[in-house]
Structure 1
Amino acid sequence: MDTYQFHDMTFTWLKGGTTFMDGGAMFGVVPKPLWEKKYPVNDKNQIELPSDPLFIQYKGHNILLETGLGFGKFTEKQLRNYGVSDQSLVEDNLAQLGFLPEDIDIIMMTHLHFDHACGLTKWEDEKLVSAFPNAKIYVSDVEWNEMKNPNVRSRNTYWKENWEPIESQIITYSQSIDILDGIEMIHTGGHSDGHSIVIFKQKEETIIHLADLMPTHAHQNPLWVLAYDDYPMTSVFAKEKWVNEGLRNNYWFSFYHDAFYRMIKWSEDGKEIMNKLDRTR
């Protein structure tokens, strides 16, 4: 497991499963000759997209950022359509670190699409139950409302199996919320109407997690947004704001879906990688 010590915060990336999604959809209107130079594609025009939760130990709290694909949550058709090559090892990874799912007390969900939220619940005695029964689960109120009442477009990714067992654990917020000192969630919209980002601050350093506004390092350009984005222009404006702030102030950028990097620091113009944490296989 990849780890990083961010002052008083210990980061460990867990294995949450992997999908291979259509590269064209993941880069929207960007022509393939441009994006394939930055991110490799297979012969099915699919790109590799891990869904690896971040486990954070901080001030006596055991925190998850996202929850991965879960295990046994997909039909054979879904496994094929989403190109699922492996499912979650989160519980096993936690055990290797000496923790049980019951030890997780905070979960931050940037949004509740299936590739982020399937790990919130699990099968137990042929019944779906909370995978982390003692956790407070933070998500924006807009996202939570749509999760429970999806529209004709979003119902393919907001599944009742992922919210009904954990409804009593949910804590919602509107614009932003301080989870703990140095950890803030901020509602941005864009990828989904309720999408949020997470900012970690320690001393004079900052890590910004843009979630699916920047799912991989190849999505750095604010104009490179996903065809999956419900509100693409909102994504563009939010990315422009936060990417520029991050580059200007030498932030780390962390990723949930990147097959190659856990985090990157770019030069101020965004053209050169100044520091990086590679993702090990």
Structure 2
Amino acid sequence: MDSLKINQTTVTWLNGGVSHVDGGTLFGPVPKVLWSRRYPCNEKNLVEMPTEPILIQHNQKNYLIDAGIGKGRFSEKDKRNKGISEESTIPEDLKTIGLSEQDIDVVLMTHLHDDHAAGLTKIENERLVSAYPNAKIIIEQSEWIAMKEPSKRNKGTYPKENWIAIEPQVHVFEGYFTTHDGIELFKTSGHSEGHSVVKLTLGEEVLIHLADLFITHAHINPLWVSAFDDYPLRSIEEKERWISEGLEKEWTFLFYHDAYYRAVQFDKATKEIKQSIKRSKKADVPLRYES
């Protein structure tokens, strides 16, 4: 597992499963001749898309950002349609660092699409139960409503099986949430109704996780938004705001879906990678930038 340690805080990426999506969907209106220079695809035009929750061990608490696709949550047909090639091994990952699912204190949900939320539940004795039974699950209010009352467009990615078992643990917030120990959530909308980003301030260091607004390091151009976004113009506005501030203040950007990088600090003038933590697990297709 890959990790980042700042003072007494440790950030660790867990394996929440791997899927493969159509490159054109991931990059929306951007022509393949442009995006493929920055992010490769395989011969079927599929892009590897990990779903890797971020464990933050901070102030004697265990926070988890999102929950991956889980294990045993999808039928073989669903796996084929969603391009799922690997299921979650989060319990095993936690065990290697002396933790279990019962030790997670808070789950911070950036949004509730099933590649982020299916792992909130698991199958136990042939029934769905909470995967993190002792955790508070923090969700933006409009996202929680969207999940419980999905539109025709979102019905497939907000199945009731993802929320029924966890409802008693859910704590909703409206617009902004803070843990009062340096972790903040800000609603952005854009990708989904209540999509939120996570900011962790550690003294002079700031880690920012823009979730599916900034899906991979190649999406640094604010105009590069995915076809998954419900409100693409809002995504562009929020990307411009957050990425500009992050570049200017030299924040470190964290990624959940990137097959090549865990964390990146960009040069504010060139927007090229200045410092990074690379994903130790090799991707299906090597990363090769064109000059």
Do they fold alike, i.e. is TM over 0.5? yes
Q: Specify the code of the residue in structure 2 equivalent to 1:183.
A: I
Unmatched 5+ residue regions in structure 1?
Answer: none
CA distance in 1, matches of 2:65, 2:78: 24
CA shift digits 1:139-162 (9 cap, x unpaired)? 100000011110100011001111
Unmatched 5+ residue regions in structure 2?
Answer: 282-291
Residue 5 (1) aligns with residue 8 (2): no
Bigger relative contact order, structure 1 or 2 (CA pairs below 8 A, ≥6 apart) = 2
| 8 Å contact from structure 1 (residues 247, 270) kept in 2 | no
1:232 aligns with 232
1:142 aligns with 142
1:270 CA drift (Å):
4.4
CA distance in 2, matches of 1:92, 1:108: 21
Note the 1:106-145 alignment, pairs <5 A: 106-145=106-145
CA shift digits 1:61-118 (9 cap, x unpaired)? 1111111110011111111111111000001111111111111110000000000001
2:49 aligns with 49
CA distance in 1, matches of 2:175, 2:165: 26
| Secondary structure at 2:194 match in 1 | coil
Q: Specify the code of the residue in structure 1 equivalent to 2:212.
A: D
Q: Specify the code of the residue in structure 2 equivalent to 1:150.
A: P
CA distance in 2, matches of 1:7, 1:81: 43
CA distance in 2, matches of 1:210, 1:176: 14
- CA-atom RMSD in angstroms: 0.8
Describe the shift of the 1:86–1:240 C-alpha distance in structure 2 as closer, same or farther (beyond 3 A).
Answer: same
| 8 Å contact from structure 1 (residues 53, 64) kept in 2 | yes
| 8 Å contact from structure 2 (residues 59, 181) kept in 1 | no
| Secondary structure at 1:37 match in 2 | helix
1:269 aligns with 269
Q: Specify the code of the residue in structure 1 equivalent to 2:240.
A: E
Q: Specify the code of the residue in structure 2 equivalent to 1:3.
A: S
2:79 aligns with 79
CA distance in 2, matches of 1:115, 1:83: 11
1:279 aligns with 279
1:43 CA drift (Å):
1.1
Q: Specify the code of the residue in structure 2 equivalent to 1:23.
A: G
2:171 aligns with 171
| 8 Å contact from structure 1 (residues 8, 202) kept in 2 | no
Residue 188 (1) aligns with residue 188 (2): yes
1:9 CA drift (Å):
1.3
CA distance in 1, matches of 2:235, 2:266: 20
Q: Specify the code of the residue in structure 2 equivalent to 1:145.
A: I
CA distance in 1, matches of 2:56, 2:67: 13
| 8 Å contact from structure 2 (residues 185, 197) kept in 1 | yes
Q: Specify the code of the residue in structure 1 equivalent to 2:238.
A: A
- Aligned sequence identity (%): 49
1:254 aligns with 254
CA distance in 1, matches of 2:167, 2:37: 43
2:288 aligns with none
Count of matched residue pairs: 281
